[in-house]
Structures are given as structure tokens and as C-alpha cells.
Amino acid sequence: MKRNALTNGRASDASERAFPRLMIAPTVLVMAALTAYPLVFTLIYSFTDYQYLKGTDAAKFVGFKNYVMLFNNTYFRQAVLNTVKFTLLAVILEMVIGLLIAVFIKSLKKGQKVMRTLLLLPYLLPTVTVALSWRMMLSANYGIVNQVLESLHLPVYNWFMDIKTAFGTVLLIDVWQNVPFVFLLLYASLQGVSTNQYEAAMIDGANVVQQFFYVTIPNIKSGIALCALLRTIDTFRLFEKVNILTGGGPAGTTSTITQFLYNYGIKNLKFGFGSCGAIVMTVLVLILSSFYIKRAIH
């Protein structure tokens, strides 16, 4: 009640009332100009034959022509399939490996902090640098990986050019970089699990595996769910590694939705078609993340 009295008394002061508006105005302006306005125009452009070089004035409304073209485009369908496959595999691998590492590090008696920092490093590096380092290691002629495989008499590949290996190689590199994020988040969640529960489980005769499934997992369920969602949202827009390592090839086997749009809507300046693809991707992302948004807002 005291707070109410304070607020009412001050609300009469005009300059004090202006304060929150001034404080929030820059964000509203920036978000309106850089996100709301573009999103609306992406939608509008998606119904036009807008080509950048001809300008917006020459663009005509073409109805759903772009959408029909897009859904009939085999490369696009392949890119959607690749993206879904990639996201599913990457998130599952990252979650399983990240969780195992988190539980393992938590069980160490010494050196938890050092290990946590060192294992986190891959996630912190610029994605471009990560991609280039792996490119050098996996180079067909001058790479250390092929050299080691050859000396062990194992088959070697041209990792990024071979249809058999390109997808898996990019997947592996992405998993390598993002497991540390999952590990860090789950390791932080594990700190909140009380040791009493493990002691109680031990008294009941639960072994290590049972403790993992009946104590650890239920306790960090919400951390696991949140982490999986964040990773899903980020993996779905995968572009940097693909663009640098394969450009979507060979034969489109590593093309993701963003890479497809970059090649066939942005780089060739066919902005109407590109916008249409962007809208389709936006809808897919919204469906994927509706759960996350609901949770985060409460």
C-alpha cells in the first residue's frame, strides 16, 4: 500500500512520467526499424516478383506464384529435409553427449572448474575459425586426419566433397562446437540437485545407472527441455559452417534452408523468391519454438 501511495504521488509529476517512456523509446524505435518493418516487408515481397536490380518500383504482385515455385523446387525440398534431419541428429547427439560429460565432470573430486573452462572453449570460438580449423585437419591431400587414417590402413575420404561423408562431417563439426554449451547448461542445473536424494537412493540400493535415471534426470528435466529447445532453434538456422565448408554441396546433400535461400534468393538478388522462402522458414521456426516462447513468458 505504501508503494501505491508513492507511485500515485509521483505520477502527477510530468517529468517523472516521461522517464520510462524516454528509457524505452530507443529500443522500440530500433526494434521497429530493424525487425518489425523488415518482417512486414519480407511478407509483402514474398507475393511479388521483386528483383533487386530492377528496384522495388518495378516489382509486381504475383500472388502465390513464389510459394508454388518454392514448393515445387526439388532443391528447396531437399534443403528442408536436410535441415530437419540435421537438427534432429545434432540436438540428440549434443544432448546425450553433453549430459554424459556434465554428469562425469560433476563426479570428479578435483579439477571440476578447470575442466569446465577448457571443455567450454570450442563453443566460444568464432564459427568461421572452427570451420577453417576442421577444414585444414580434414583436407584431402594435406590433412592430418587422412594421414593418420592412411597410416592405420583405414579408408580415407575427400570429406567435404564426397556425397557419402559431407553431411556427417558437417554434423560432427557442429556437434563438436555445441556440445560444450549443452554440457555447461546441464552442469549448472546439476549443481541444484541435493546430495540427500542420492544418499536416499543409495540406501534403497540403487546402483549408479538407476541413480542416473531415477534421481539425476527427473531433477534436471526442465534444464534438459530448455537446452534442447535452444539448440533446436539455433541448429535450424544453420548456415555459417555449411556456407564455408561445402556451400551446400555436393549435390545439395548438405544444403540447409538458410543456405538454399542464400544461394537462390539473396546472392542472385531474386528478392521476391528469397522473401517467400524466408517466410516459409519463419513459419517453421515459429511452430518449433511456440513451446519455448510460452514457457519463457510463463
Partner 1 sequence: MGSKRITGMTIIKGIVCAILLIVALFPIYWIVAMAIRPTSEMTGHISVIPHALTGEHFKQLFIEKGFGSSIVNSLQTTLISTMISLVIGLCTAYIISRARFRMFIKKPLTYWILLVRVLPPVAFTIPLYTMFSKLNILYSRIPVILACILINIPLIIWFMISFFQDLPVDIDQSAQIDGATEWQLFTRIILPLVLPGIAAISMLSFMYAWNEYTYSIIFVQTPRNYTVPLTLAVLNTEDNLTNFGLVAAGGVISVIPITLFVIFAQNYLISGLSSGAVKE
Footprint of partner 1 on 190-219 (CB under 8 A): 192
Q: How many CB atoms lie within 10 A of CB 170?
A: 26
- What are the CA-CA distances from residue 169 to residues 10, 172, 232, 245 (Å)? 62, 5, 19, 10
Judged by CB under 8 A, does residue 168 bind partner 1?
no
Q: How far is the CB of 206 from partner 1 (least distance, A)?
A: 18
Q: Grid coordinates in use for 153?
A: 590402413
- Contact flag: residue 187 with partner 1 (CB under 8 A): yes
Helix extents (H) in 57-73 = 65-72
Single residue of 51, 73, 78, 139 touching partner 1 by CB under 8 A: 139
Rule CB under 8 A: is residue 16 a binding residue for partner 1? yes
What is the pattern of x (binds partner 1, CB under 8 A) and - over residues 95-124? ------x--x--xx--x---xxxxxxxxxx
Q: Does 76 bind partner 1 (CB under 8 A)?
A: no
Which residues in 209-268 contact partner 1 (CB under 8 A)? 223, 226-227, 230, 233, 236-237, 239-240, 243-244, 258, 261-262, 265-266
Task: Give the bridge partners for 48, in sequence order.
Answer: 61
Is residue 90 at the binding interface for partner 1, with CB under 8 A as the rule?
A: no
Cα 18 to Cα 47: distance, rounded to the nearest angstrom:
41
In the complex, least distance from residue 216 CB atom to partner 1, rounded to whole angstroms: 14
Q: How many other C-beta atoms can be found within 10 angstroms of the C-beta atom of residue 133?
A: 13
Q: List beta partners, residue 61.
A: 48
Compute the Cα dihedral for 209, 213, 219, 222 and give only its sign.
Answer: positive
Q: Which helix (H) or strand (E) holds 19?
A: helix 14-31
Burial class (CB in 10 A: 0-12, 13-18, 19+), 197: middle
Stretch that binds partner 1, among 72-80, 162-170, 183-191, 203-211 (CB under 8 A): 183-191
Among 51, 73, 78, 127, binds partner 1 (CB under 8 A): 127
> Which of helix, strand or coil describes residue 160?
coil
**In contact, 45 and 29? CB cutoff 8 Å:** no
Q: Which stretch binds partner 1 (CB under 8 A): 71-79, 196-204, 211-219, 272-280?
A: 272-280
Contact mark string toward partner 1, 29..68, x via CB under 8 A: -xx--xxxxxxxxx--x------x---x------------
Binding residue for partner 1, selected from 14, 72, 126, 195, defined by CB under 8 A: 126
